[in-house]
Amino acid sequence: MADEENVNGSSEEQSEKGQQKKTAKYDSGAADLEKVTDYAEEKEISTQDVANAISAIGDRRNQAALEKQEREKELLKVVIKREDVDLIVREMEISRTSAERYLREYHGNIVDALIALTN
């Protein structure tokens, strides 16, 4: 009977130690979680940062729009032949504005425009 008490006593001690280890693991996880949430709370985005970001995005959009307008002005200066436009419209079956656009992008060179359209 003394042997049974030793066996039962040691198994009870082992289960208590196991529960203490589990509790320690959970406590360390909670401590780690606290560290993460504390850091997130400290780092807040200010309204000034948001305003600066929005301003930067607006500036980039305006710059892109200006560059696009400049590109369109340059393309309008390119001289193209009516016969070339008619040929592209007839052969490639695209709209006249698209044919003109391709010809202008390739500086009126019909061969380069046709190659670009077929690729």
pLDDT digits (tens, 9 = 90+) for 16-27: 655 665 555 555
Q: What is the pLDDT of residues 63-105, one digit of tens each?
A: 999 999 999 898 888 889 999 999 999 999 999 999 999 999 9
107 phi and psi angles, rounded to 5 deg: 55, 40
Q: What is the pLDDT of residues 41-60, one digit of tens each?
A: 555 667 888 888 999 999 99
Residue 109: exposure state from Cβ atoms within 10 A (0-12, 13-18, ≥19):
middle
Q: What is the pLDDT of residue 75?
A: 87
104 in Cβ contact with 76 (< 8 Å) = yes
Residue 3 has pLDDT above 60, yes or no: no
104 in Cβ contact with 80 (< 8 Å) = yes
Q: What is the pLDDT of residue 90?
A: 93
83 in Cβ contact with 91 (< 8 Å) = no
